[in-house]
Amino acid sequence: MKLSKDTLFIILVLFVTAALYRLIPFRPAGFAPQVALAIFGGALIKDKKWALTLPILSLFISDLIFQGLFLAGLVEIKGIYAGQWQLYVCFLAITTFGFLMKKINLKNTLIFSGAGSVIFFIISNFAVWLGGGGFARPKTFEGLQYTYFDALIFYRDGGIIKGFPGNFLIHDLIWGVVLFGIFLLYKRSRTAVNYNI
């Protein structure tokens, strides 16, 4: 793959964001860029093989950093754990969804970031129900409904403002706007440089 300046910039954003967000002190629970990174990679990396690989690789590096922090006693949550592959499947699905974003603007950023958040919620909690994770529920339609109901409380109370509905959704929207905003500012600065030559 021949790497253009745009592709190198996108790769840099993916890896720096995935690595550095873990180091944000007093980060609200669930305030993570992974959904936005998956959409970002899917929308902007033209080579689909790399579009699928790079967001997952950035997530894996982030998980390794978090595992190191856990082993050093700096955080209480492991970066590497059983059943983690299910999250990677979720992010592959979200990256594939990002392929559908054809135009980068605020409206599409909000729509795709919000939809990515919902896709993650649906797939990850289906995997919890199927695998009997955290809240083991019966393998019936009613058990699946209870799993999603249990998850709604967690999804709602994910961080910035406790008790405010949709906090994980809000986090994903914020990260989407930040990442795509950085890319649009980068593109604008490159265009400005080209006009000055």
> Which residue shows structure tokens 């994903």?
172
Q: How far from the centroid of its chain's Cα atoms is residue 185's Cα?
A: 21
The predicted-structure confidence for 128-141, as pLDDT tens digits, reads as follows 888 765 567 888 89
Q: Which amino acid is at 102?
A: K
Q: How far from the centroid of its chain's Cα atoms is residue 91's Cα?
A: 7
The predicted-structure confidence for 97-120, as pLDDT tens digits, reads as follows 999 999 999 999 999 999 999 999
Higher pLDDT, 42 or 19: 42
* C-alpha–C-alpha distance, residues 135 and 158, integer Å: 17
CATH number at residue 80: 1.10.1760
Question: pLDDT confidence of 187, banded at 50, 70, 90?
Answer: confident
Query: Residue 172: is its pLDDT beyond 80?
Result: yes
> Which residue shows structure tokens 């919902």?
118
pLDDT computed for residue 110 by the predictor: 95
Question: pLDDT confidence of 27, banded at 50, 70, 90?
Answer: low
Burial letters for 89-120: b for 16+ Cβ neighbours within 10 Å, e otherwise?
A: ebbbbbbebbbebeebeeebbeebbbbbbebb
Q: Which amino acid is at 43?
A: A
pLDDT computed for residue 164 by the predictor: 42
pLDDT computed for residue 129 by the predictor: 86
Residue 196 within any structural domain of the chain: no
Number of domains in the chain: 1
Query: Residue 52: is its pLDDT beyond 70?
Result: yes
Query: Percent of the chain beyond pLDDT 70?
Result: 80
Query: Residue 170: is its pLDDT beyond 80?
Result: yes
pLDDT computed for residue 195 by the predictor: 46
Residue 95 within any structural domain of the chain: yes
Mean per-residue pLDDT, 29-33? 72
pLDDT computed for residue 116 by the predictor: 94
Domain interval for residue 168: 5-191
Residue 44 within any structural domain of the chain: yes
Question: pLDDT confidence of 158, banded at 50, 70, 90?
Answer: low
Q: Give the pTM.
A: 0.80
Residues 135/128, Cβ–Cβ less than 8 Å:
yes
pLDDT computed for residue 161 by the predictor: 44
> Which residue shows structure tokens 């265009």?
191
Residues 168/158, Cβ–Cβ less than 8 Å:
yes
Residue 133 within any structural domain of the chain: yes
Higher pLDDT, 8 or 93: 93
45 Cβ partners below 8 Å, 6+ apart?
A: 7, 10, 51, 54
Query: Residue 197: is its pLDDT beyond 50?
Result: no
Residue 197 within any structural domain of the chain: no
Torsion of CA 177, 179, 183, 189, to 10 degrees: 80
* C-alpha–C-alpha distance, residues 196 and 188, integer Å: 13
Residue 31 within any structural domain of the chain: yes
Residues 77/24, Cβ–Cβ less than 8 Å:
no
